[in-house]
């Protein structure tokens, strides 16, 4: 059995922890982690990793990660990298090999800046908001099917940020996604403080109101604990758009059904840009992507899927790379 399907089949679902419009069902796995790695935030803090533009002129959809550590470094789908010529988010989860430089696929989340702010990137305390992550995942996987690349539909990413910023009354002279989170930082911190990881928890299934929206599950509890505040902010910024109400959260059976439905989906696997293999699952109304290394699931993200036509913009955007413009043209044909 494929390790992703095996893990989905044996995940244990706990009673949800809820705050305002958000509920998190704790997920636990009995699988034993087999891959040692560093988290990007830790590796950057310890000076073991540098993330830079590809050159002085830069390339919107790509960055270079230099890993000087003796262990691989984990970069999680949607993690935000800030600085250099413009802020970006990772297009998918990667394990950057030890003692090696790797070019990684990214999306711009700051449309109005293309000027140097710093020589290297830092990692922020957030990942891309969940709805944007879901649509980016769909476009990256479409890119993989059409050309074998991992580019997003950059125009759609910017469109999503613009819509979100307007809805959340967050203004930025450079159209930065970060401004949305910063505008609502205090309210998001309330979610973070109330929705904490439970012992042994390796993942979470997230619901907003009465709808299950997605999940993130990792190979070890320590990784989930470290990433949970970022994920809570990601779903929290979507939760804040929803009116406060008394609609009941989904129950544990609904969470189990989501996992079972995902496990029955069509699975594809491709060699990763770093270590391991990228995996893709598609079932009716659900899309998922993740990373497997040494026959062990490192990370899986899944989302309740919106209409594919909504995930693709007709305009690749002012700063889009040549490859992204070609991809946007293909999507319109």
Q: What's the pLDDT tens digit per position in 84-112?
A: 999 999 999 999 999 999 999 999 999 99
Does residue 75 have a pLDDT over 50? yes
Which SS3 state, helix, strand or coil, does residue 141 take? helix
| Distance of alpha carbon 311 from alpha carbon 156, whole angstroms | 7
The domain total for the chain is 1
The pTM assigned to this predicted structure is 0.90
Q: What's the whole-number mean pLDDT along residues 43-60? A: 98
Does residue 309 have a pLDDT over 50? no
pLDDT of residue 7: 94
Q: What's the pLDDT tens digit per position in 184-217?
A: 999 999 999 999 999 999 999 999 999 999 999 9
Residue 56 has a CB neighbour count (10 Å cut-off) of: 7
pLDDT of residue 306: 61
pLDDT of residue 52: 99
Q: What's the pLDDT tens digit per position in 110-169?
A: 999 999 999 999 999 999 999 999 999 999 999 988 888 999 999 999 999 999 999 999
CA 232 remoteness from chain centre: 12
Q: Output the average pLDDT for the chain.
A: 91
Residue among 58, 82, 104, 111 nearest 313 (CA): 111
**pLDDT class for 245, splitting at 50, 70, 90?**
low
Residues in the chain: 333
Residue 188 has a CB neighbour count (10 Å cut-off) of: 24
Tally helices (H) and strands (E) across the chain. 9, 18
In angstroms, the Cα distances linking 87 to 74, 107, 215 are 19, 9, 25
Q: Which region among 15-19, 93-97, 184-188, 314-318 has the lowest average model confidence (pLDDT)?
A: 314-318
Identify the domain containing residue 327 by its residue range. 3-332
pLDDT above 70 as % of the chain: 91
pLDDT above 90 as % of the chain: 86
Tokens of 28: 């636990």
Residue among 285, 169, 287, 180 nearest 236 (CA): 180
211, 226 in Cβ contact below 8 A? no
In angstroms, the Cα distances linking 51 to 81, 113, 188, 193, 195 are 8, 18, 27, 30, 31
């Amino acid at each position: 059995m494929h390790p992703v399907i095996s893990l989905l089949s044996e995940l244990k679902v706990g009673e949800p922890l809820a705050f305002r419009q958000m509920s998190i069902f704790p997920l636990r796995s009995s699988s034993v982690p087999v891959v040692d790695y560093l988290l990007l935030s830790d590796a950057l803090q310890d000076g073991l990793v540098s993330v830079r533009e590809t050159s002085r002129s830069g390339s919107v959809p790509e960055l270079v990660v230099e890993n000087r550590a003796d262990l691989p470094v984990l970069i999680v789908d949607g993690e935000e990298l800030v600085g250099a010529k413009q802020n970006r988010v990772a297009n998918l989860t990667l394990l950057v090999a030890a003692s090696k430089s790797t070019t990684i696929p990214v999306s711009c989340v700051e449309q109005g800046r293309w000027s140097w702010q710093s020589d290297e990137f830092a990692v922020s305390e957030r990942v891309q908001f969940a709805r944007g992550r879901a649509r980016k995942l769909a476009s990256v996987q479409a890119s993989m099917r059409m050309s074998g690349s991992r580019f997003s539909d950059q125009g759609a990413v910017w469109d999503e940020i613009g819509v979100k910023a307007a809805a959340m009354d967050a203004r930025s002279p450079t159209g930065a996604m970060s401004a949305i989170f910063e505008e609502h930082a205090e309210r998001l911190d309330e979610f973070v403080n109330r929705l904490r990881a439970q012992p042994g928890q390796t993942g979470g299934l997230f619901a907003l109101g009465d709808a299950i929206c997605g999940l993130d599950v990792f190979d070890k509890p320590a990784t989930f604990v470290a990433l949970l505040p970022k994920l809570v902010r990601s779903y929290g910024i979507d939760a804040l758009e929803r009116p406060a109400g008394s609609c009941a959260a989904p129950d544990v059976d609904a969470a189990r059904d989501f996992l079972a439905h995902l496990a029955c989906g069509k699975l594809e696997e491709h060699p990763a840009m770093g270590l391991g293999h990228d995996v893709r699952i598609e079932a009716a109304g659900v899309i998922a992507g993740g990373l497997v290394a040494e026959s062990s699931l490192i990370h899986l993200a899944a989302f309740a899927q919106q209409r594919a036509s909504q995930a693709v913009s007709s305009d690749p955007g002012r700063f889009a790379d040549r490859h992204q413009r070609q991809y946007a043209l293909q999507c319109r044909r």
